[in-house]
Structure 1
Amino acid sequence: MSVIFNLDAKKNARILLLSLRKIKFHVARCYLYELEDLICEFDSADILTPVFNPDLFKVTNRIANTMAQAVGSSRLINPLFKQFNLDKEYELFFIICQSPLDILTINSIKNWRNKCRRVVVWLDEIWAKDIEKWKVQLSFLQEIDYIFMNFSQSIEGVSKIIQRPCEYIPFGIDAIKFCPYPLNRERSVDLYSVGRRSQVTHQALLNLSERINFFYIYETIKDLYTADHRYHRSLYKNILKKSRYFIANRAKIDDANATGDQQEVGARFFEGAAAGTVMLGVPPECESFTRNFDWEDAVIQVAYDAPNIVEILAELDSQPDRLQKIRTNNVVNSLLKHDWVYRWETILATVGLDSTPAMMARKARLQNLVERILTRKNSDERSAAHYSDRIHKQDRTQMPVV
């Protein structure tokens, strides 16, 4: 099967995106494709999508990366074997590499450096202990103008190799679509858990769901792939918006061999907060977490192995006012801080490009949502206070005269 390049072009586009959405279908990549879709909405962007057999690409990509390691260079090695020739110029070429294994796909564009004034790579996941292993692939980034990275504690090591500007950038979220307001759906899912989980905690929750009316959603399949990332994100956000509690732990909490005990912020925290869930788990002990989730009870700390999870939930359920405050704070802070438009604004400012009118309109919409939520919250509080005061007065009038 030969490679086909699909270019979804816009008139006068200033941005070029290279997307692996027709090659990489794992659900773990869907939030990155969400960012690409939004860039196309609020900026003028062409999106170049190679179409290739995903199983065959696993083989060719592994061979290409092995060859790069063997020869000590990655500049001419292309896992797709075919190149696309750009026929127009762009202000910015942007690609998200979830792994260093993705870097070589840049070679599938023949003249990317000549046709693009600025080039930015978003490097999603690389652990500090593995940086030396990926030295050949990372050296390719010496031709890139700016590198943005999610893993804050890996930046120094990558920067030493490539000698290019490397900056931390947190995950983001489509805060508008994940926002539970204004519909304010009933939260009919009691607890939602995705990805890695503790068998101890899981078994306690299973036992609870067998005993009482407790709706517990969890994954039963490994190596999840999706035919369409938009469908997956839609299903995911709708379950989250209907969930009361959500398990969120630091990235790869149960795999110290993979992380080297490095603690980083995973995407789960941004997703759970934006949907207004009450997050339970073990957050990372790092500056990037405290900076991005700096409000009270953003995550309620619960041990990874929590045999007493049922008692913890019962205690929380006895505090409805606290739970409502947590949900509101999570949603409001997500709208103000974590929408993808803020991440894209940071990238544009770094490379010297202006924000677009559509970006300004989206930020205004985010602010409007915040104001509506807070206005309704204040109204609900006044109504509750009025009702409490009325009941108190009725009780006093019914008191016997002594």
Structure 2
Amino acid sequence: MKVSVLYAGLNTPHAGWVAIDELAELLSFYFDAEVLSPKVLPNSWLQRQIRPHQVNYEPLNTTGSDVLIVVARGPGDLGMVNAIADCRKKFGKIYGFVTDSYFQAGFVKETALFDAITVTAHEDMAFPQTRYHIPVHQLYQGADCLTWVPRSTHHRDIDVMGFGRTPPSYQACFSQRFHQSSSPYLYLHSPLGNLSGASVHLERGMLFKLLQRTRISLAFHLYVEPQGGRPRAMMVTSRWLESLLSGCIVAGRRPVSRMADEMLCWPGATLELSEHAQTAAEELEALLLRNDSLAAQRRTNIAEMLARHDWRYRIQTFCRLMNLPVPAKLHADLVRLQNLGASFASQ
């Protein structure tokens, strides 16, 4: 079976989407797939007036394959199939994995060309299923645990780390409290590295090395002090998974959702901070005084990530949902994950 994988990350890399790009890269590896990534073309003045939200792509040269898998950062990325002329004639089946599937307004008419897609939340299934009359399955986000799991134990010199979006009142309070010379605590926060460009994949290793040297990693759901007018959801994003995989204690404001209940289901997976930033800072300091007693929780977080949330489990499930054969070389890595997880759990 010949497989092609289409994703945006090669031509438009962004730090916020590297985890999703890693799924595409793993799919490409396990299926020995053709890799396709379209370049976005600038819209003319007339195009911006007529179709202000339409994205145009430079044509991709491919003869097609039995299966095309589109790894979409958001619903709009399903439109990348427009970069392939006569895509429905060139591919026997077209499947999609959609990450920010809660963003209903982002779905494009090309969604109807797909044989089936997956969305990350159960409540996101009905809209594309009803609107585009295609099969829709639920499949949670994951992480490349086998690549980024800590290889050795490091001293955790970074007391608190906030990467990505931190609610403004918390950011201001923590900076004021922890950046003072009188504070013994180190608070490291974004911006870290480049937001876009070719270097973001290289800097992925830097992020994980920082996390593996961090005691507490911050994570807040998207409704905490929201900014901008875009729809949002109570979803578990990459920062939770990457922080847990790195052995951090994850503190913040956990999503209130079925997704969070099912994905972050082990005791101590997250610790809730106060709605008031000043009180939250005091809670962080109290946690830091307990650092030595949290070693077992760190190992548990790593073990649970290895047992539950590696992308390889998602690929296995994706194959089952789409009636695709599981690649032979995936099986050995699934066994490696289980063994590695068991080793952390038994420490």
**One fold, TM greater than 0.5?**
yes
- Partners of 1:221 and 1:305 in 2: CA distance: 26
Give, in angstroms, the shift of residue 212 of structure 1: 2.7
Quote the residue 1:9 is aligned against: none
Do the aligned partners of 2:119 and 2:138 also contact (CA within 8 Å) in 1?
Answer: yes
Give, in angstroms, the shift of residue 147 of structure 1: 1.0
**Which is helix-richer, 1 or 2?**
1
Quote the residue 1:87 is aligned against: 63
* Post-superposition CA distance 1:94-114 (Å, at most 9, x none): 112223332322111123322
**Higher mean Cα deviation, 330-339 or 34-43?**
34-43
Are the structure 2 counterparts of residues 368 and 127 from structure 1 closer, same or farther at C-alpha, using a change threshold of 3 Å? closer
Quote the residue 2:102 is aligned against: 127
Do the aligned partners of 1:25 and 1:227 also contact (CA within 8 Å) in 2?
Answer: yes
Do the aligned partners of 1:179 and 1:331 also contact (CA within 8 Å) in 2?
Answer: yes
Quote the residue 1:32 is aligned against: 20
* Post-superposition CA distance 1:158-208 (Å, at most 9, x none): 22101111122111101123212x411211211110122233322333222
**Among residues 230, 234, 245, which one is paired with 2:201 in the alignment?**
230
Q: Are residues 1:212 and 2:200 paired?
A: no
Partner SS, residue 226 of structure 1: coil
Q: Which amino acid aligns with 1:297?
A: G
Q: Are residues 1:105 and 2:93 paired?
A: no
- Number of residue pairs the alignment of both structures matches: 345
Are the structure 2 counterparts of residues 125 and 115 from structure 1 closer, same or farther at C-alpha, using a change threshold of 3 Å? same
Partner SS, residue 368 of structure 1: helix
- Partners of 1:105 and 1:179 in 2: CA distance: 32
Q: Which amino acid aligns with 1:82?
A: P
- Partners of 2:305 and 2:44 in 1: CA distance: 36
Quote the residue 1:164 is aligned against: 134
Query: Percent of aligned positions with the same letter in both sequences?
Result: 18
Q: Which amino acid aligns with 2:56?
A: P
Do the aligned partners of 1:123 and 1:147 also contact (CA within 8 Å) in 2?
Answer: yes
Partner SS, residue 95 of structure 1: strand
Quote the residue 1:176 is aligned against: 146
Are the structure 2 counterparts of residues 374 and 123 from structure 1 closer, same or farther at C-alpha, using a change threshold of 3 Å? closer
Quote the residue 1:399 is aligned against: none
- Partners of 1:174 and 1:296 in 2: CA distance: 23
Q: Which structure 2 segments of 5+ residues have no match? A: none
- Partners of 1:245 and 1:121 in 2: CA distance: 35
Do the aligned partners of 2:36 and 2:60 also contact (CA within 8 Å) in 1?
Answer: no
Are the structure 2 counterparts of residues 366 and 42 from structure 1 closer, same or farther at C-alpha, using a change threshold of 3 Å? same
Do the aligned partners of 1:152 and 1:264 also contact (CA within 8 Å) in 2?
Answer: no
Quote the residue 1:60 is aligned against: 43
**Higher mean Cα deviation, 330-339 or 139-148?**
139-148
**Among residues 123, 132, 144, which one is paired with 2:114 in the alignment?**
144
Quote the residue 2:165 is aligned against: 196
Partner SS, residue 308 of structure 1: helix
Are the structure 2 counterparts of residues 140 and 61 from structure 1 closer, same or farther at C-alpha, using a change threshold of 3 Å? farther
Quote the residue 1:49 is aligned against: 37
Give, in angstroms, the shift of residue 69 of structure 1: 7.8
Q: Are residues 1:356 and 2:308 paired?
A: no
Give, in angstroms, the shift of residue 243 of structure 1: 0.9
Are the structure 2 counterparts of residues 303 and 309 from structure 1 closer, same or farther at C-alpha, using a change threshold of 3 Å? closer
Q: Which structure 1 segments of 5+ residues have no match? A: 1-12, 71-76, 378-402
Give, in angstroms, the shift of residue 340 of structure 1: 0.5
Do the aligned partners of 1:65 and 1:101 also contact (CA within 8 Å) in 2?
Answer: no
- Partners of 2:207 and 2:46 in 1: CA distance: 34
Are the structure 2 counterparts of residues 252 and 224 from structure 1 closer, same or farther at C-alpha, using a change threshold of 3 Å? farther
Give, in angstroms, the shift of residue 45 of structure 1: 1.1
- Partners of 2:162 and 2:289 in 1: CA distance: 22
Kindly report structure 1 stretches of 4+ aligned residues shifted beyond 6 Å. Answer: 61-66
Are the structure 2 counterparts of residues 321 and 62 from structure 1 closer, same or farther at C-alpha, using a change threshold of 3 Å? farther
Are the structure 2 counterparts of residues 261 and 371 from structure 1 closer, same or farther at C-alpha, using a change threshold of 3 Å? closer
Q: CA RMSD of the aligned region, Å? A: 2.8
Normalising by structure 1, what TM-score? Answer: 0.77
Give, in angstroms, the shift of residue 67 of structure 1: 4.8
